[in-house]
Chain A
Amino acid sequence: MDGKVIKTANKEAAQVLQWGESRGIETCFSRAEMLKPCPIGESGACCKVCHMGPCRLVGKNAEEDVRGICGAALPVVAARNLARMVDIIGIEFEGRPVNDVAKDVALKFMEDFSRQRGEINYIKRAPKKTQERWRKWGIIPRGIDREIAETLDRTTMGMDADADSILNHALKASLANGWGGSMISTDITDILFGTPGPVKAEASLGIFKEDEVNLVIHGHEPTLAEMIVDVVYEPEMIEYAKSKGAKGISLGGMCCTANEVMMRHGIPTAGGFTNQELGIMTGLIEAMVVDVQCIMPALAQLSKKFHTKVITTSEKVKIPGAMHIQFNEHKAKEIAREIVKLACDNFPNRKSEGSHVTEKFPVIAGFSHEYIEYMQGGRWRASFRPLNDAIMAGRIRGVVGMAGCDNPRVPSTGMHKYLAIELIKNDVLVVSTGCSSASCGTAGFLTPEMALEQAGPGLREVCEAIGIPPILHLGACVDNTRILTIATAMAAEGGLSDEIGGMPAVGIAPEFITEKAISIGCYFAASGVPVIFGGESPVGASKEVTKIMTKVWFERFMGALHFEPDPEKILAMALDYIDKAREALKLRKYEPGKFGAERVLMDMAARRELEKGSAVPHAGVGG
């Protein structure tokens, strides 16, 4: 683009952005260009927990020599900063019990939030060995709220001054998120709105229709969105839209609310985090309904330049300049209809301005862990045996969970795209969530054809056998817990590691932005997954903290949390982790195009031994 800074790797986004720039419209991209990150805060060297500071712990030998006013050293400050980021938990669960049993379940889970002693419920779901590690290091959360409160207490001035101790608690709080709040959310959402199965949908800024009312649901919480999906195609609503001159109503999603409704209903997505302003700049959106998380406050001001109404709906998220309609579960459908009508009412106000995009990409989504199990053998033979077999035989080199945000400070979505392609070329199966799914989806990567065109020979065989894309869309960022459940099932299936740690698996958040991403990274690390975040380290100022989060955590939990801005290095690091894990598991060395089973041919004596477990062909084909 003529020597200009490349802001996004998505063609459609670039088109809208260019149109906006030419008209001087401000976006997160232009703001990111204008406002460089504070270098002290960026590396975690700034402490502002008390009013003696803020203290900047910088300079030569800062790690050893520099102290805050209270005497806190750099590792303590960096560790505190990280721990406080982890504290932000993705509790997106606001489910309503549908009957008494559901009520009991809900109460039981709600107990998990406020419990003061014991262990949260879902810990039991993890492999035994993983649990043992957690117990050994004392990081099993008692209750979700309890560990958050303790983090704030522990990290305030005059409290815990041992970086390792602070970070250990950060892991405890992160587990409260992963194996607590988020896992509960995924399960309860599945119970309320259905466990996802494969759906065909579309992804692009081009999903908006010129002649229909475009209503966008944006955020992270599917309750209201589900209700809107329920009512939007009611004949009265369609009639209403027609009465306003539109041909119909087109519902689209944005960010993780989009992922939720795409997974369950095939509602198209307009993309991830950095597309939210661009969506409005198409000039085609009548209303953008937002719930919680990742809502740019800039939306309200931007929308004034167009006819779009930005509607906040959560008590927790209010934006000056936006319209607020408080969502109430007891009047869910009425509110949903009100919003749909409001969007329709706004249709006649649409101006001719806006950058219209037409290209759209098909997406296959809906890979819940339940469906992933099903797709490997149908209802009679569902299991994770084929996946474990494929890894053992070297068809699949390993698995990478790609998650996290898209970031305007790098060519947005570009890191996701680069890594996704390179990983699948290297026979790594990618499971994606959140804005990684959006990045891949809007790039046209989430199709089964992708396996034929881009995947390595082994991964391609597996994808062809099952009929799947080489990148599986698992859902919203809260659904990262599906990855934990899958890893647990793989451990139970046998033939690989008997815990989550030690699997040839890596987590990558190439363009992370949010605190909750750090929290997710931490619970993956604590569960035994090496995690690599793209970008500079928010604790880079401290070598000690960096060492704890990588070497020390790896020794204790077989997981780690790295920060690395260079995408090529991220790739190399991920493949290295995978290959080392394969080696440790004594799996055959990965060689592209060379795989297959070492046959254990069974004579009668071997068959008699089956029950005793000494010859177990179904436990895999390694060698």
Chain B
Amino acid sequence: MSKLIATAAIRGSHKLILNAEQMLEKALAEKGKDFVFEFPDTAFYLPMIYAMTGFAVKTLADMKVALGMAKEMLHPEPEEHIWKPYLGEALDSGMATLFAEEIILALKYINGLEPAVDLGTGYIYNGFITDTIQRNLGIQLVDGRMPGFAAIIGAAPDEDLAVKIVREIQEKNILTFLSGQSRDKNGNLTCVTKQLLNKKVELGWDTYIVPLGPDTEHTLYALDWSVRASLIFGGKKPGDFKTHLKYTKDRVFAFALVLGDLDDIKWSTGAGAINMGYPAVCDTEIPVIHPTGVCIYEEVDRELDHNKIVQRAIEVRGLKIIVEKPPIPVAYGPAFEGERIRKEDMFIEFGGQRSPAFEWARTRELDEIEDGKVIIVGTDVEERYKKGGLMPLGIVVDVAGRKMQKDFESIIERKLHHNINEAQGLWHMGQRDIVWMRINNQAFKDGITLEHLGVIHNTLTHNRFRSIVDKVQVTLYLDEKDILAVQEEARKAYKERDKRLAGMIDESVDTFYSCLLCQSFAPSHVCVISPERLGLCGAYNWLDTKAAFEIDPTGGNQPILKGEAIDSVKGRWTGVDEYLKKNSAGKVETLNLYTIIDNPMTSCGCFECIISIIPEANGVMLVQRGHTGMTPAGMKFSTLAGTVGGGTQNPGFMGIGVNFITSKKFLYADGGIKRIVWMTKSLKERIGEDFKKRAEEEGVPDILDKIADETVAEDSEKLLEYLTKAGHPALEMEPMF
């Protein structure tokens, strides 16, 4: 019965708090109370404690205070007979456990013991999950590519079952965290991480399998990560625990799969997770807790059949997963997108400057193509393929549909990369005439043929663009002379497209599009996407949203009729304002698309890049996600990001997509690219060519050299020094405000 669970959870919290206390006392004795600690790359201190209590743990002395808070949540174990109620008490104990675990892991970091390393294999676990990773994943969290999260705790009965369970989760696009240990069917203490390593399963963020550490306590990293979604994307305030926990319950679709026997620490950590609305499904004969209300459905359930356990967990969490798998003999899904194929695992490759290759999506008339057909053009194709090695390859995806528009070609074509990459054992890079594809030995053994490449494009193009595309036909060219000939045609089409796109400016359209995809995580944020300003995540430009609206008229991208221009310099329109009022949960009244100073665009939290004003330099700086160094704004990216997200307007700060920097509308009302006084070296490199072009247009061809980066300045004093020496134009410009 559930008393058993409560008893174990309460007992576990006592143990962990004692453990934390002993470790903390030792650290205090060794390092003193003022010793400063922060987890790598986070703006949220000890995130669980910070989110729940608003208390920022910065030093060992602070940890002691936080541990005191945890102690207040301890309760005695329920008695054997005539017990007092225990559910609330067990949940409190669970939270105490999370606090204690956070402190324990922090102390392990201080002692150099984190991230943990597997002694047998030398495998380094992920450890604490940084804010950067959180933001990197932003768009996947909202567009359905990562609809849920599983924490697998313990070990499967054997390695094959471990692989089976994880693969099934991968195919459902669910991100998996691994932690904790238990005994396998032979009685050996092990963990899923080791079981997968032994089976040579590729682990890491790219494959949606993230080993956090070997102990149950490491599960906290996943919980820490999820509570930050509420702080970052939800814009909820630290200490406002009720809204955080409602956010995690309603919006973060996480659950635990507990494999093998449970001990007090597992139960107690589980009780902590239940506070967040995350249920647990176990594969052993455990008591269950079915009544709902703390979690949306069951709190604790069991499923002894490993063939059913993943499906059971998904139901228990109330998760809807739509998996569209093409009929191919390998697994398929975004979780396989990040797989790499090393040379020694490779069976065959195409392109990559080693053989001619291209891919091209082309509009045809409905009666010109046959739906679902894959045409293979070439001599001795099968024999050449079976030999492996290297082949040339031209892929033409012909699409026809009553709602198809020429503009959508590029969007369909851009998806060809994902189409191939999401197949297990297939790898794709580049686009157009610089593509590079590989098929690994395992996929070949599993029966992947050339025709399957066409099948994948056929199925996925239909799935992704179902209301635009009525017919899809794929032609694969495998003889060099054919390829070179068709490639010429394709190149002509690419060029035309680019020209057309370049001419597409905000003034030339009467409709912008919104992107509300992030509202599943950031309920008040609205991205307004115009031809010259792409979404801040970098994933959606105006054409994408236009196509998305055609595909799903009630989906996350909606047309915004611009209406009257109220201020064409700052970029304000009546239609945009009206739309915002209605769709930002009343949070945003008005917006200027071309300035950072006056009612700038809000952010969800998954911006590629942040612009921050540097008042003393009369300009702005740009820093991209993932940059961990200090910036002249006096804040690191993670701290800056903390002030920008959550759907609020913050004059002087804004999240943007990287490609917006080279748009003519970039801070148009504030002086454009001439305002940029600092940006990271890697940004400079990334936008280099386009930026030079823009600089010339603006009449400041040498501005890139005058813009400082982290190699010359990480504070405003040095920055000013550099700018003065370089004669940066911003210093002479009108004051920004």
| Interface positions of A (Cβ within 8 A of B) | 198-200, 362, 364, 374-383, 385-390, 393, 395, 447-449, 461-462, 464-468, 596-597, 599-608, 610-611, 617-618, 621
Q: Is the CB of A447 within 8 A of B294?
A: no
Which residue of chain A has the shortest Cβ distance to B72 in the bound complex?
A379
> Given A377-B91, A467-B6, are A618 and B52 neighbors across the interface (CB < 8 Å)?
no
**Does B523 sit within 8 A of A, measured CB to CB?**
yes
Chain B residues 36-85 with CB under 8 Å of chain A are 52, 73, 78, 81-85
Cα–Cα distance between A621 and B82 once the two chains are bound (Å): 31
Q: With a CB–CB cut-off of 8 A, which chain A residues contact B246?
A: 618
**Does B251 sit within 8 A of A, measured CB to CB?**
yes
Looking at A198, A380, A617, the one whose CB has the most chain B CB atoms below 10 A away is: A380
Q: Is the CB of B275 within 8 A of A621?
A: no
Q: Is the CB of B556 within 8 A of A376?
A: no
Q: With a CB–CB cut-off of 8 A, which chain A residues contact B87?
A: 375-378, 465-467
Q: Is the CB of B85 within 8 A of A378?
A: no
Cα–Cα distance between A603 and B145 once the two chains are bound (Å): 11
Cα–Cα distance between A466 and B246 once the two chains are bound (Å): 20
Looking at A465, A596, A602, the one whose CB has the most chain B CB atoms below 10 A away is: A465
> Given A377-B91, A378-B87, A449-B81, are A603 and B320 neighbors across the interface (CB < 8 Å)?
yes
Q: With a CB–CB cut-off of 8 A, which chain A residues contact B291?
A: 386, 389-390, 393, 395, 461-462, 465
**Does B86 sit within 8 A of A, measured CB to CB?**
yes
The segment from B424-432, B483-491, B512-520, B559-567 found at the interface with A is B512-520
Which residue of chain A has the shortest Cβ distance to B556 in the bound complex?
A608
Cα–Cα distance between A608 and B321 once the two chains are bound (Å): 15
Cα–Cα distance between A200 and B79 once the two chains are bound (Å): 11
Shortest beta-carbon distance from A49 to chain B in Å: 50
Q: Which of B83, B90, B144 contacts A448 (CB 8 A)?
A: B83
Shortest beta-carbon distance from B119 to chain A in Å: 37
Q: With a CB–CB cut-off of 8 A, which chain B residues contact A388?
A: 293
Shortest beta-carbon distance from B76 to chain A in Å: 12
Q: Is the CB of A465 within 8 A of B290?
A: yes
**Does B128 sit within 8 A of A, measured CB to CB?**
no
Cα–Cα distance between A436 and B296 once the two chains are bound (Å): 35
Q: Is the CB of B85 within 8 A of A618?
A: no
Chain B residues 275-301 with CB under 8 Å of chain A are 275, 289-294, 296-297, 299
Looking at A374, A462, A600, A604, the one whose CB has the most chain B CB atoms below 10 A away is: A604
Cα–Cα distance between A33 and B110 once the two chains are bound (Å): 81
Q: Is the CB of A600 within 8 A of B293?
A: no
Q: With a CB–CB cut-off of 8 A, which chain B residues contact A467?
A: 2-3, 6, 78, 83-87
Which residue of chain A has the shortest Cβ distance to B94 in the bound complex?
A378
Q: Is the CB of A385 within 8 A of B82?
A: no
Q: Which of A464, A599, A606, A621 contacts B315 (CB 8 A)?
A: A599
Q: With a CB–CB cut-off of 8 A, which chain A residues contact B29?
A: none
> Given A467-B87, A618-B296, are A381 and B320 neighbors across the interface (CB < 8 Å)?
no
Q: Is the CB of A378 within 8 A of B88?
A: yes
| Interface positions of B (Cβ within 8 A of A) | 1-3, 6, 52, 73, 78, 81-92, 94-95, 142-144, 147, 241-242, 245-246, 249-251, 253, 275, 289-294, 296-297, 299, 315, 318-322, 516-517, 519-520, 523-524, 554-556, 585
Q: Is the CB of B81 within 8 A of A601?
A: no
Which residue of chain B has the shortest Cβ distance to A385 in the bound complex?
B293
Q: Is the CB of B296 within 8 A of A621?
A: yes
Q: With a CB–CB cut-off of 8 A, which chain B residues contact A618?
A: 246, 249-250, 296
13 pairs of residues in contact across A and B, judged by CB atoms under 8 Å: A200-B82, A362-B82, A375-B87, A375-B88, A376-B293, A380-B245, A380-B275, A383-B293, A388-B293, A466-B87, A467-B2, A607-B251, A617-B318
Cα–Cα distance between A600 and B318 once the two chains are bound (Å): 6
Q: With a CB–CB cut-off of 8 A, which chain A residues contact B290?
A: 461, 465, 596
Which residue of chain B has the shortest Cβ distance to A382 in the bound complex?
B88
> Given A464-B3, A597-B297, A610-B520, are A393 and B292 neighbors across the interface (CB < 8 Å)?
yes
Shortest beta-carbon distance from A333 to chain B in Å: 30
Cα–Cα distance between A603 and B320 once the two chains are bound (Å): 5
Q: With a CB–CB cut-off of 8 A, which chain A residues contact B520?
A: 604, 607-608, 610
Q: Is the CB of A466 within 8 A of B3?
A: no
Which residue of chain A has the shortest Cβ distance to B148 in the bound complex?
A602
Which residue of chain A has the shortest Cβ distance to B275 in the bound complex?
A380
Cα–Cα distance between A461 and B291 once the two chains are bound (Å): 7
Q: Which of B82, B245, B556 contacts A447 (CB 8 A)?
A: B82
Looking at A395, A449, A599, A602, the one whose CB has the most chain B CB atoms below 10 A away is: A602
Shortest beta-carbon distance from B529 to chain A in Å: 16
Which residue of chain A has the shortest Cβ distance to B315 in the bound complex?
A599
Shortest beta-carbon distance from A397 to chain B in Å: 14
Q: Which 9 A-B pairs have the closest CB atoms?
A: A386-B293, A378-B91, A607-B520, A601-B320, A467-B86, A389-B293, A378-B88, A611-B523, A603-B320
Q: With a CB–CB cut-off of 8 A, which chain A residues contact B251?
A: 607, 610
Cα–Cα distance between A388 and B292 once the two chains are bound (Å): 9
Q: Which of B2, B147, B299 contacts A604 (CB 8 A)?
A: B147
Which residue of chain B has the shortest Cβ distance to A198 in the bound complex?
B84
Shortest beta-carbon distance from B124 to chain A in Å: 33
Shortest beta-carbon distance from B603 to chain A in Å: 17
Cα–Cα distance between A379 and B74 once the two chains are bound (Å): 12
> Given A448-B82, A618-B249, are A386 and B292 neighbors across the interface (CB < 8 Å)?
yes
Cα–Cα distance between A347 and B219 once the two chains are bound (Å): 62
Q: Which of A601, A608, A611 contacts B319 (CB 8 A)?
A: A601
Cα–Cα distance between A386 and B249 once the two chains are bound (Å): 14
Q: With a CB–CB cut-off of 8 A, which chain B residues contact A376?
A: 87-88, 293-294
Cα–Cα distance between A393 and B142 once the two chains are bound (Å): 30
Q: With a CB–CB cut-off of 8 A, which chain A residues contact B320?
A: 601-603, 606
Cα–Cα distance between A449 and B6 once the two chains are bound (Å): 16
Cα–Cα distance between A193 and B700 once the two chains are bound (Å): 77
Cα–Cα distance between A604 and B516 once the two chains are bound (Å): 11
